[in-house]
Amino acid sequence: MNIRKAEDKDIDSIADIYEYARQQMRLNGNPDQWGNGYPSLELIRKDIRQGVSYVAEEEAQICGVFAFIKGEDPTYQRIENGAWLDDEPYGTLHRIASNGKKKGIFRECIRFCEAQEKNIRVDTHECNLIMQHLLEKNGYQRCGRIYVEDGSPRIAYQKGRTDEETCGSAGMSN
């Protein structure tokens, strides 16, 4: 599988994947997370312009899409019912979706993100049980609740640096 930055020529494929994802969410009891056509074509174009949109390809066919943004996410400044694992710099995984034709897209996308930044934060809707399962299965810890731009709550997750990396960065040794 190849992961690359999305380009303008990919917009139709990306929009199709997001439409498929919205349908799957509705079918799986999560009608609200991406209701009202989220993410919009405007947001897709903005992600591409800002260089934070990525596509996963298999045999030259786009089968997945996500946004990976390094740096502070304003919606993550306030967390309730818990706390972030640390206050170290992080990357944020947003808007991950697949076309449902290839298994393992999620794992490949997070592997890509984790190679770029060892400290990752992500959020999902309380009704998105599939995403919660995937995050927990891949070592992400539930940290609390955040609120996205429209004010709706999301479950916040983080996968930080390993204990060994943390100890190493603090100059500790065995």
Strand 120-124 versus strand 153-159 pairing type: antiparallel
Domains within the chain, CATH numbers bracketed: 2-169 (3.40.630.30)
End-to-end Cα spacing for the chain: 39
What does the block give as tokens for 15?
A: 């929009």
pLDDT in tens, 26-43: 999 998 899 878 999 999
pLDDT in tens, 59-84: 999 999 999 999 999 999 999 999 99
pLDDT in tens, 93-152: 999 999 999 999 999 999 999 999 999 999 999 999 999 999 999 999 999 999 999 899
Cα–Cα dist 78/84, whole Å: 10
Give residue 170's pLDDT band: very low, low, confident or very high (50, 70, 90).
very low
